[in-house]
Structure 1
Amino acid sequence: MMNLCEENTKVTIPLVMKAIGWEFMRTTALTMKDGGQELANKQNGFQMINPTENWFPGLKEIQDYYTSWDWCYGNTPKFHITQSFPVPGGLIHNTSGTCADVKVTMTVESGKISDITLFVPEGFSSFGFTGEAKVVTGLKGKRFSINAFNELENSLDSLLDEKERFVTECVRQVMTSA
């Protein structure tokens, strides 16, 4: 992709609009054949429109709707994001000696976080818990964005230990990679 001005320094927006208008006037709609000057003469020219509220009452309302969060994100189908993260050696104490991963699965419905599941490897939890856990309930119902995560993280930051900070960074990465 490139800017047209890089190819031809004489290109301007009015010239591009004129060229596009000319193509529409000289090309038949159904067959896409070039009718040349003869067809263009039959078209009675083209007129630029002014897409403003004055010319088209209600246009602003339509524009606001189609640029709103509800339209852009709220209509998205349900989806899941899953990512695995290798746990740094100093944060895990497993007896198998194998590399362990924390796995985060996030479910998003209609643009909002509906569920977050965390897979905890053996030796990671100080309480001895391993397996899947439903977590981070503070994010449930929030719009799927990094802002939701930042709000939660800021409120918890002073309470988190090194392992919990690692997990929150994993969740952050899931949200920012989507």
Structure 2
Amino acid sequence: MSLINRFMIVAKRRPQYNDFCRVSNYSTSSFNEKRNNPNDSITKSVFISQSTDVFTNLALEDWFYKNQDFTNHHVLLLWRNNPCIVIGRHQNPWIEHNIQLAKKRGIVLARRNSGGGTVYHDRGNLNLSFFTPRERYNRKYNLEIITRALYREWGIEAEVNKRDDIILKEKYKVSFHISGTAAKLGRPNAYHHCTLLVNVNKTALNLALEKKENGIETNATTSTRSPIKNLVDINSHIQMDKLITAIGWEYLRTKALVLEDGGQDLIQRQKGFQYINPTEDWFPGLDKLISEFRSWEWNYGKTPNFTVTRIVDVPTEDNKVHRFNLALEIQNGIIEEIKMKLPADLVSRDFNEDVSVITNLRSSRYDHEVMENIITAIGCKTVTLNTSQNVDKSNMIATQ
């Protein structure tokens, strides 16, 4: 029996919705009018992960991407995580979040397989992954499913901006993000995933995403910070379970290739909702993927090469102080080179101003404490430059 057949459950309960007025944006043609339409050959399922472990859910997402055939069956996977920071595939974790604070609060770091920026997850955040074959990848379609569900159930008029984020405008003086988005495109499959802020702990979010480490030079993708709102800030009646139901039914009632409402007739042809428990028994090879997503080599070692520079003062025996630039070159998260740029008055014509620092800390994994240990070991003192700016970061998030 195939995996999809094991998950099959037909939705027979007619969902209850509020009046839906945006008929100009919806086609309500009968499902039987176009029997030869390719939409008719594609069924849909809504899978809901029962795990709240970010590494398990990222592995589950990757498992579907690598193993499932979506030719005639599109899937929406819904999942939630315990508190965590999720960075994009090409990002540097040391500049994207406050590592020391996150560890202290038990907020884990995870690197996903798609690009884009950094996001904070907790149980108040809903993750949505839309799976299709590569040639049917359409993130605008997916995001419209979400905005239409919000309007149909609660009358919330959200928009999709040019960056494919879901935002709210109207009565607000600025646009607020309620969602971020990213994607993984391959052959034959693709997925588009996004977050939806329902009732996220914004205090924890702001603290965890606060940038602490400076002096890093890198070509890694950097996040864009944007103002955010929780959906409960807009409508206090929104609850996670009801939101999952509303989006799931909207997905099932919408035709597979076009944004047309097939109504109850189309819902009856779909494979409905299914709670799934991500385990090795159901998904052979999942444990290996979980281990890879949980590893230091993936979360930190996959960081694009970067250089960390500190300005330090070194006292001499004659009570003079010389100022140096201390630089660490990091490859795959490992310290490959430690260099000190000597002041011009200390460099003779026969020597380069850049000298290597000999220490057993070379070839060790980089973190903030390693830099401080090197500075202490060579008897230097860090020079603190005033580079702070008065920026209000309340209600801000680094968008995916």
> Identity of aligned pairs, percent?
34
Q: Distance in 1 between matches of 2:241 and 2:307?
A: 45
* Match in the other structure for 1:140: 362
Aligned counterpart, 1:68: 295
**What is aligned with 1:165?**
380
Instruction: Indicate the structure (1 or 2) with the bigger Cα radius of gyration.
Output: 1
What residue identity is the alignment partner of 1:92?
Answer: V
| Alpha-carbon spacing, 1:124–1:37, altered in 2? closer, same or farther (3 Å) | farther
TM-superposed CA distance for 1:13, in Å, is 2.2
Q: Deviations over 1:58-97 (max 9, x none)?
A: 43332121121111222334333446x3869x8537xxxx
SS across alignment from 1:74: coil
Structure 1 residues 41 and 91 mapped into 2: Cα distance closer, same or farther (>3 Å)?
Answer: farther
Alpha-carbon distance in 2 for matches of 1:27, 1:51: 27
Alignment pair present for 1:92 and 2:324: no
**What is the distance in 1 between the residues matched to 2:320 and 2:255?**
69
Distance 2:231 2:354 in 1: 53
Q: What amino acid sits opposite 1:141 in the alignment?
A: S
Where does 1:1-178 land on structure 2 (aligned, <5 Å)? 1-53=228-280, 55-56=282-283, 58-82=285-309, 85=311, 92=321, 102-122=324-344, 131-135=353-357, 137-149=359-371, 152=374, 156=377, 164-166=379-381, 169=382
Could you list the runs of 5+ residues in structure 1 that have no partner in the other structure? 94-100, 171-178
Q: Structure 2, unaligned stretches of length 5 or more?
A: 1-227, 384-400
Give 1:145 deviation, angstroms: 1.1
Report how far residue 141 of structure 1 moved: 0.7
Q: What secondary structure does 1:108 align onto? A: strand
Work out which structure has the larger RCO, using CA pairs closer than 8 Å and 6 or more positions apart in sequence. Answer: 2
Matched-pair contact (CA < 8 Å) for 2:313–2:380: no
With normalisation by structure 1, the TM-score equals 0.63
- Equivalent position SS for 1:21: helix
Helix, strand or coil for the counterpart of 2:273? coil
Q: Show CA shifts across 1:4-45 (max 9, x none).
A: 332222222212221221232122333344433332232142
* Residue aligning to 2:222: none
TM-score using structure 2 length: 0.32
Report the number of matched residues: 150
Higher helix proportion (structure 1 or 2):
1
Structure 2 residue matching 1:51: 3-state secondary structure: coil
Q: Give the conservation status (yes or no) of the 8 Å contact 1:121–1:130.
A: no
CA distance in 2, matches of 1:137, 1:8: 58
Write the distance in 2 (CA, Å) between the matches of 1:49 and 1:23. 20
* Contact 1:26-1:39 at 8 Å conserved across structures: yes
Distance 1:35 1:124, change over 3 A: farther
Which range is displaced more, 64-73 or 28-37? 28-37
Which is richer in strand? Answer: 2
Amino acid at match of 2:370: A
CA–CA distance in structure 2, aligned partners of residues 56 and 20 of structure 1: 25
User: Match of 2:249, as an amino acid?
Assistant: W
